[in-house]
Amino acid sequence: MKKIQLTGRWNVDRFCRFVLAVLVCWIVMLTAAYADTAQNGMPAPQILKLGILPDSSPEIIKQRFSPLMRYLERKADIRIELLIPSDYRELVRQFTTKKIDMAFFGGYTFVMTQRETKAVPLIMRDIDLHFSTVFLTHPNNTKQKLEDFRGGRFSFGDALSTSGHVMPRYFLHERNIRPEKYFSEVRYSGGHDTTAFWVRDNQVDLGAANSDIIKNLIQDGLLNKNDVRILWETPVYTNYVFAIQPDYDKELRDRLLDSFLALTPRVQAHQEILTALGTSGFLPANNEDFEILRKAVKIMVPQ
């Protein structure tokens, strides 16, 4: 092989300019290829920022959603960053400002967020079409009806909670009970588990909480079944949904949807995921699923 000899300053300068020109061309070609790829919607974002409604403690949320996250990362070929906001309002803010790409909303927080962002309902658990609220009291309390608690201490969950505030307030409204006038004290616990603990510890006489979360607390041993008594359970309504940013990559959105829909209790590896989330499968979500909730919101939370 013939050796290249660089003799003299002139030849060295020419060689350096040649190398520099090659590097510039290479960078231009890569930039053009990337721009063309991005214009056609590829590649998909490498990290999906997933926000979860903080309706329980962060420890409980991580325990419930970690199996699902591991599955989606493998199935949809995407890294997932789990974000647990400090409260319900912060979840809405982070989605509205695009700090998160997808969120697991309660029904009310979804309706609120969609008004500002056109959030797209993506997927929901089969149980989310049939949710209910339970009104809890202490087992030693002998009162048998909601009307018996006039003048007592009452607690909702978070002010932005569907099952912990909006819907129980709506059902109380149907019984002509206006909480602030009916009870001696109305508190907001910030979470369903806290509401249950307040009832258990006799800090309030009556509390409204998500029926599914109460069942999970008992199932996980965090609440003894004899700690509280269910006084009344409401009729069912739609609650909870995974919603995604309206301009999010469609190809990745479809991969996520297909991954959710592929979960089935007939596959042993899926059972841990579904059990942790209290469901037997997922369904595509539609805007129409939340019409009853929107009507309740208009009555109870006028704009």
Examine the pLDDT at 12 and tell me if it is beyond 80.
Answer: no
Least confident window among 19-28, 72-81, 129-138: 19-28
Q: Please determine, for residue 30, whether its predicted confidence score (pLDDT) is greater than 90.
A: no
- What is the percentage of the chain residues whose pLDDT exceeds 70? 84
Rounded to 5 degrees, φ, ψ at 133 are: -110, 140
CA distance from start to end of the chain? 82
Average pLDDT of the segment spanning 68-75 = 96
Whether the per-residue pLDDT at 40 is higher than 90: the answer is: no
- Residue 296 confidence (pLDDT): 85
Q: Render pLDDT for 262-292 as a digit per residue (tens, 0 to 9).
A: 999 999 999 999 999 999 999 999 999 998 8
SS3 string, the chain, reads: CCCCCCCHHHHHHHHHHHHHHHHHHHHHHHHHHHHHHHHCCCCCCCEEEEEECCCCCHHHHHHHHHHHHHHHHHHCCCEEEEECCCCHHHHHHHHHCCCCCEEEECHHHHHHHHHHHCCEEEEEEHHHHCECEEEEECCCCCCCCHHHHCCCEEEECCCCCHHHHHHHHHHHHHCCCCHHHHCCEEEECCCHHHHHHHHHCCCCCEEEEEHHHHHHHHHCCCCCCCCCEEEEECCCECCCEEEECCCCCHHHHHHHHHHHHCCCCCCHHHHHHHHHCCCCCEEECCHHHHHHHHHHHHHHCCC
133-137/206-210 β-pairing? antiparallel
* pLDDT exceeds cutoff 60 at 105: yes
What digits encode the pLDDT tens for the residues 194-233? 999 999 999 999 999 999 899 989 998 999 999 999 999 9
pLDDT at 36 exceeding the cut of 80: no
Radius of gyration of the chain (CA): 27
Percentage, residues of the chain above pLDDT 90:
76
Task: Assign 14 a pLDDT band (cuts: 50, 70, 90).
Answer: low
Between CA 248 and CA 95 the distance in angstroms is 12
Least confident among 25-29, 131-135, 157-161, 184-188: 25-29
Structure tokens that stand for 163 in this block? 């099952």
Q: Please tell me the predicted confidence (pLDDT) of residue 189.
A: 96
Q: Does the pLDDT at position 112 exceed 70?
A: yes
- Amino acid 33: pLDDT: 45
The dihedral of CA 160, 165, 167, 171: what is its sign? negative
